Chain A
Amino acid sequence: MSKEQILSSDGIPLEQSLKKAERKNKLKAVLLVAPLFLFILIIYVFPIGDMLFRSVDDRMITKMLPKTFKAMESWDGQDLPDEPVYKAIYEDLKYLKENKTYGKIIARLNYEKSGFSSLIKKTVRKLKKIEEGNYKEQFIKIHKRWGQPEYLVALRNAAPNWSYAKYLKGVDMRFDQNKNIVQVEEDRRIYKILWMRTINVAFWVTLFCFVLAYPISHLLATLPMKYSNLLMICVLLPFWTSLLVRTSSWMVLLQQQGPINDLIVWLGLAADDNRPELMYNVIGTFVAMTQILLPFMVLPLYSVMKTISPSLMRAGKSLGGTPLVSFVKIYFPLTIPGIGAGCLLVFILAIGYYITPALVGGASGSLISNTIAYHMKSSLDWAFASALGTMLLVGVLAIYWVYNKLVGIDNIKLG
């Protein structure tokens, strides 16, 4: 026996009517979010996807030497290939020479195996002397490297459309000619050092920020309003001030003839003609980044400490705990959410910092972001910049995920 249905005023069952209203509300909420969502999807998420795509996209060589790779399909890679392969190389290079675009493949092939640069250049130069028929012999006559199988193997290794070679480069690894992953030569290992330095700087800056921020957040949270509001300005003014202004004030302070060095000389810690270098090294990066990121640690800590009732500490004391014990057992555990929020936020911001290290860091204080910028703007190795960017992004998103789990993204507090 079915339950009697309750009808709404227009005769539709109430349950159905409610569901309809619910659906309508849901649709309304989704429609409100949709414009921003689509905007971010098109101008932000897709471009980042495109960046991922660029970092593994290796189709340039395949596109420029189509016939060669087609002809190489039937080659076993052991001995020298047969005539058709050389004929295909001849046709491809001839086409590239006519369009003056062979320069592009040189860098890519030279990365695969050094020696390709002169090989291609010489071959292109003598291309018009080649007569029809018997290409293999004529090629080997132009350059003996055409007769060495390892060069042709290297050429074939450049064929796949997708490659994660740029990622290997980002951790100082590479493919050798047999497609095994090996470490690069000792003196060319720079990226591991860079990653370690970036993580190191982010870690220490986070730690310094925490050590400096904890006491002042506590003070701000416990002082009476009229004093704490005044002191809060010391935190908020730097927070609202342009990053470049704050960085330039550190450049003024840390320069060789600057106030801090004047003080060091005046205190007799260094001779006037032997002033220590405080800038253009990792010290400058540390000091400036700590001051610049400090507000991001203070604000979450403060907002958590503000909610802790002072009566809890008094209760601890009345139960016989010394201030230290009450602090360790009561106050500190209650501030852990704030510590987590602040530390993760500062770490995330520090690991991708660009402007400050670029201006006060010099060569020894530059971080992974600076290298990405270098490959974007100077060396123009956009695929490699994209690969480094992707690696950094994965790291940051992992921390962001943890942050979201621990703190909840909607609990971010600003100002």
Chain B
Amino acid sequence: MALPNHTPLNYRIWHYTYLTFCGFVFFFLIAPLFVILPLSFNAEQYIHFSAKMLALDPEGFSLRWYEDMIYGTKNPWGLATKNSLIIAFFATIGSTILGTVAALGLSSRHMPYKAAFMALLISPMIVPLIISGTAIFFFMAKVGLAATHTGIVLSHIILGTPFVVITVTATLSGFDHSVTRAAASLGSNPVNTFMKITLPLIMPGVISGALFAFVTSFDEVVVVLFLAGLENTTIPIQMWVGLREQLSPTIMAVATCLIVMSTLILVTAELLRRRSERLRGINR
């Protein structure tokens, strides 16, 4: 943002102060993530920058913590990754289907008490996780689903659906309902219309909701802490346990992998968002 030449000095100062402040805030947001990356390649067992690392000496770097993460005998990361993926997969499918179907109903102008239903269906996102965790734990213990994958998947479906409902209703708000009426007038039944017309059009919203649901389940630790037994350990649980004991370079390696994953998810989500904005632009 270049300023015109005639800008008075005090505005100039004000403007650059503002830009510096913004720069500082962006740094504050993003820099902490990048501290982890080099430390995960540390050749030593400490979580600080060794002299060799700062001198960019190749000897200061190594992949041993990644090796430890994958092959380490005592490390539970293999089981945790497997569990996390299984749980997140089923939770995502469950949340996406339930959330999308509910969003279709909520977007209908015939839906009675829309605001009240919406407020209730979104509430798992607003209620503190510790309360959700406590309540769900009592319930799962009562029905015998504590310390099972099923119990964790069900609770993650609860936590994931609000995101799907929000993203899909947002996509449907720009949806031109005359296309479904056109399909109906051409003799298509409602299921066929949904599969062939509606779903492809709202797909960006559904997928970005699914991504939210996946990330919610994959990162979720509070509810799992209440529900998981030893067999159901997940990546966040192992990180939690590790962080409570001490910071280890292996955790830095796991964290780096997670950052890479979230970068990929961010890119996908952004591309989808732009595509959906383009589609909505056509409708206008």
A residues neighboring B (CB under 8 Å): 22, 25-26, 28-37, 39-40, 43-48, 50-51, 54, 212-213, 215-216, 219, 223, 231, 233-238, 240-253, 255, 257-259, 262, 291, 294-295, 323, 348, 351-355, 359, 369, 372-373, 376-377, 382, 385-386, 389, 392-393, 396-397, 400, 404, 408-410, 412-415
Contact = CB atoms under 8 A, between A and B. Distances in A.
A237 B266 contact: yes
Contacts of B226: 376-377
A216 B118 contact: no
A409 B236 CA distance: 29
Contact of A354 (B32, B110, B138, B222): B222
Contact of B101 (A35, A377, A408): A35
A238 B33 CA distance: 8
Given A216-B25, A410-B118, A35 B98 contact: yes
Interface string B241-254: 00110010001100
B77 interface: no
Interface string B208-228: 100010010011011001100
A54 B138 contact: yes
Interface in B103-156: 104-106, 108, 110-112, 115, 117-124, 126-132, 134-139, 142, 154-155
Contacts of B263: 237, 240
A238 B262 CA distance: 9
Given A25-B108, A259-B49, A393 B28 contact: no
Contact of B259 (A219, A241, A348, A352): A241
A236 B247 contact: no
Interface stretch (B56-64, B65-73, B160-168, B179-187): B160-168
Contacts of A408: 115
Contacts of A397: 127
Contacts of B130: 352, 354, 369, 372-373, 389, 392
A385 B48 CA distance: 39
Interface in B231-284: 236, 239-240, 243-244, 247, 251-252, 255, 258-259, 262-263, 265-266, 269-270, 273
Nearest to A231: B26
Contacts of B124: 40, 44
Contacts of A415: 208, 269-270, 273
A32 B166 contact: no
B236 A242 contact: yes
Given A35-B101, A244-B221, A359-B243, A28 B110 contact: yes
17 contacts: A28-B108, A32-B101, A33-B102, A33-B106, A35-B98, A36-B165, A47-B136, A48-B127, A237-B262, A242-B255, A244-B219, A252-B47, A255-B47, A294-B29, A295-B29, A323-B11, A373-B225
Interface in B77-107: 98-99, 101-102, 104-106
A392 B89 CA distance: 32
Contact of B121 (A30, A36, A54): A36
A246 B32 contact: yes
Contacts of B35: 249, 252-253, 259
Given A352-B128, A355-B240, A372-B134, A29 B269 contact: no
A32 B104 contact: yes
Nearest to A400: B126
A242 B131 contact: no
Interface string B1-33: 100000000010000001101100110111011
A212 B132 CA distance: 30
A40 B120 CA distance: 9
Contacts of B206: none
B136 A245 contact: no
B16 to A, nearest CB: 13
Nearest to A46: B139
When A and B form their complex, which 9 residue pairs have the shortest distance between CB atoms, in order from nearest? Answer: A352-B128, A32-B105, A47-B139, A33-B105, A36-B102, A29-B108, A47-B135, A25-B110, A29-B111
A159 B252 CA distance: 55
Range, interface on chain B: 35 or more
Given A40-B120, A409-B119, A410-B115, 9 more contacts: A32-B104, A33-B102, A234-B26, A245-B259, A255-B247, A348-B126, A359-B243, A409-B122, A414-B166
A37 B121 contact: yes
Contacts of B139: 43, 46-47, 50
Nearest to A32: B105
B239 A352 contact: no
A243 B117 contact: no
B99 to A, nearest CB: 7
Nearest to A385: B134
Q: Find the residue from B25, B218, B244 having the highest chain A CB count within 10 A.
A: B25
B202 interface: no
Given A32-B101, A242-B219, A414-B166, A50 B135 contact: yes
B256 to A, nearest CB: 9
B221 to A, nearest CB: 6
A369 B123 CA distance: 18
B213 to A, nearest CB: 12
A32 B102 contact: yes
Nearest to B126: A400
B135 A51 contact: yes
Given A252-B247, A253-B35, A412 B166 contact: yes
A213 B21 CA distance: 11
Given A37-B121, A43-B136, A244 B243 contact: yes
B26 A216 contact: yes
Contacts of A39: 98, 157-158
A335 to B, nearest CB: 16
A392 B128 contact: yes
A174 B53 CA distance: 59
A231 B170 CA distance: 24
Q: Find the residue from A47, A351, A377, A396 having the highest chain B CB count within 10 A.
A: A47
A336 B112 CA distance: 30
B266 A233 contact: yes
Contacts of A396: 126-128, 131
Contacts of A354: 128-130, 222
A48 B135 contact: yes
A235 B28 CA distance: 10
